Amino acid sequence: MSTVFYTLALLACPVGMGLMMWFMMRGKHKDGAAAPLSPDDAAELTRLRAEADQLRESPKDRHPAPATGVR
């Protein structure tokens, strides 16, 4: 009888993982496109993209490399 419990315990993990993967896969295949952005969300997205572009163009030496050598 104890062998049955050990077998169930050993199978619980792979079966649980398989179920989680199956549920996650099902979630990706939902039909329909993403909901359209509200005007506030679109404005914030534009602002964040501009900020990201500005950060990419800024000088790379804001954080200088650590000095090498013995102090």
Residue 48 CA to residue 71 CA, distance in Å, equals: 42
Total number of domains constituting the chain: 1
Residue written as token pair 């800024």: 58
Residue 20 lies in a domain: yes
Token pair of 12 as six digits: 């619980």
pLDDT in tens, 29-70: 665 566 788 999 999 999 999 999 999 987 766 666 677 766
Residue 33 lies in a domain: no
Residue 66 lies in a domain: no
Between 18 and 30, whose confidence is greater?
18
Residue 57 lies in a domain: no
Q: Which domain holds residue 5?
A: 1-27
User: φ, ψ for residue 65 (rounded to 5)?
Assistant: -65, 150
> Binning pLDDT at 50, 70 and 90, where does residue 19 land?
very high
pLDDT given at position 26: 84
pLDDT given at position 17: 94
pLDDT given at position 29: 63
Residue 43 lies in a domain: no
Residue 18 lies in a domain: yes
Angle (CA) 28 29 32, round 5°: 105
Residue 23 lies in a domain: yes
